[in-house]
Structure 1
Amino acid sequence: MWIRVAVAFLLISGTALQAEEIRWRTSLADGLKAARENHSLVYVQVVTEWCGYCRKLQADDYPRPEIKALLTQFVTVTIDGDRQPEVANGFKARGYPTLLVLQPDGTIIARIDGYPGPERLKQTLSQILSENKMAGLDPTPLSDQKNNSRKEEDSSPTSRDEEPSSIHPLDIALQAMQSKEFRKALDILNPFISESTSSNTEFALARFYRGMTLMELGQFEKARSDLDFASRRAPMPEQRESAAELLKKLNNAKLADKSPLKE
Structure 2
Amino acid sequence: MLPFFRFSKSLLLLTAIFFASNLASEVKWETSVEEAFTKAKKEGKPIFIDVYADWCGYCKTLKKEIYPKKEVQAEFSNFVLLSLDGDRFPNLKKKYQVSGYPTLLFLDKNGSLTEKIAGMPDRKMVVRTLKLAFSKRDQENVLLSQASKDPENNLILLKLGEYYFEAREYQKAAEYFYKSFASEDPRTPENRHKALFNLGVSFYELKNWEKTVKTFSLYLDKFPTGSAQAAYYFRGAAYKSLGKKSEAESDLKKALELSSNPEEKKEIQDLLKSI
Q: Which has the higher contact order (CA 8 A, sep 6+)?
A: 1
Scaled by the length of structure 2, what TM-score is found? Answer: 0.41
Structure with the largest fraction of helix: 2
Scaled by the length of structure 1, what TM-score is found? Answer: 0.43
